[in-house]
Amino acid sequence: MANHKATKKDTRQANARRDRNRYHGKTTRNAMRDLMAITVDTEANDKLPKVVAMLDKLAKKNIIHKKKASNLKSALAKKVNALANPVEKVVVRKAAKKATPKKTSKK
């Protein structure tokens, strides 16, 4: 346990920050989950900007990394756009190349 007044205060502040960050992070995750569960495109289009704003705030406060926020926003936008344009896309993947054995030089 901390012995100095400043260290005790720092511990209290860190606990308060942690609780606040956990609350905002959990609230945002719940909003993302609810958005992903929506099947009506108009409802999803209304909710998307609110969730994006929540992610931006988390990134601004360094609760999550800015690139993680960007990746999450991109995934949510893809989901919402897929609701608006329900077109089945066939994903064709190229076959992996087989490794060729290295040629050894004879001396």
Tell me if 101 is assigned to some domain.
no
CATH number at 67 reads 1.20.58.110
Instruction: State how many domains the chain has.
Output: 1
Alpha helix segments (H runs only) across the chain: 5-37, 41-60, 66-84
Tell me if 45 is assigned to some domain.
yes
Residue 45 sits in which domain range?
7-84
Tell me if 94 is assigned to some domain.
no
Q: What is the pLDDT of residue 10?
A: 95
Tell me if 16 is assigned to some domain.
yes
Tell me if 96 is assigned to some domain.
no
- Going residue by residue through the chain (107 aa), what tens digit of pLDDT does each one get? 678 999 999 999 999 999 999 999 999 999 999 999 998 889 999 999 999 999 999 999 999 999 999 999 999 999 999 988 877 555 566 666 777 777 777 76
Among candidates 55, 85, 60, 48, which has minimal Cα distance to 71?
55
This prediction's pTM: 0.72
Structure-block tokens of residue 53: 């704003």
Q: Residue length, the chain?
A: 107
Q: What is the pLDDT of residue 105?
A: 73
What span, in angstroms and rounded, lies between the C-alpha atoms of 12 and 8? Answer: 6
* Distance set, CA 5 to CA 9, 12, 58 (Å): 6, 11, 31
Q: Are 51 and 31 in contact (CB under 8 A)?
A: yes
Tell me if 37 is assigned to some domain.
yes
Tell me if 64 is assigned to some domain.
yes
Tell me if 49 is assigned to some domain.
yes
